[in-house]
Amino acid sequence: MEKATFGAGCFWGVEEHFRKIPGVIETAVGYMGGTKKNPTYEEVCTGQTGHAEVVHLVFDVQQVTYEQLLWEFFHMHDPTTLNRQGPDRGTQYRSVVFYHHQAQQKQAEKMKERLNQSGKFRDPVVTEIAPASTFYRAEEYHQRYLQKRGAQSCH
């Protein structure tokens, strides 16, 4: 089993997307990359804590590779918009890969470079690639939010 952490805008839809991938064993939504310990959703929403809304995964490397998860991540949102996804704006909605070890860092950087060179996107990929820090699990009502409501997406 291995860990992965991604921020791609509002964490509800991102979690739902990753949760359905075979080999993803566990998902949790929360906050990473900021300065405040144990932030609340309301605090993160102010943009003052520095945290991003993220989905933290545990996955089985025998069933799904980190590279496959990266591919899904880069194709489930617009990685060319800075601090924005759809109607959501603010640093908490930034596109970010938090890597858990050097191999993940290298794979993320390689995929970002490959996407920038591919011409797939009109604008450059601005996804941040940063070392994982403390993951703060979001409040329980955020966990599997869309699944609990029978929804497939946020919009």
Residues belonging to the active site: 10
Helix H or strand E segment including 17: helix 11-19
Record the tokens describing residue 14, joined without a space.
């991102």
Joined together, the tokens standing for residue 85 give 């996804």
d(CA 43, CA 124): 30
In 10 A of CB 70, how many CB atoms?
21
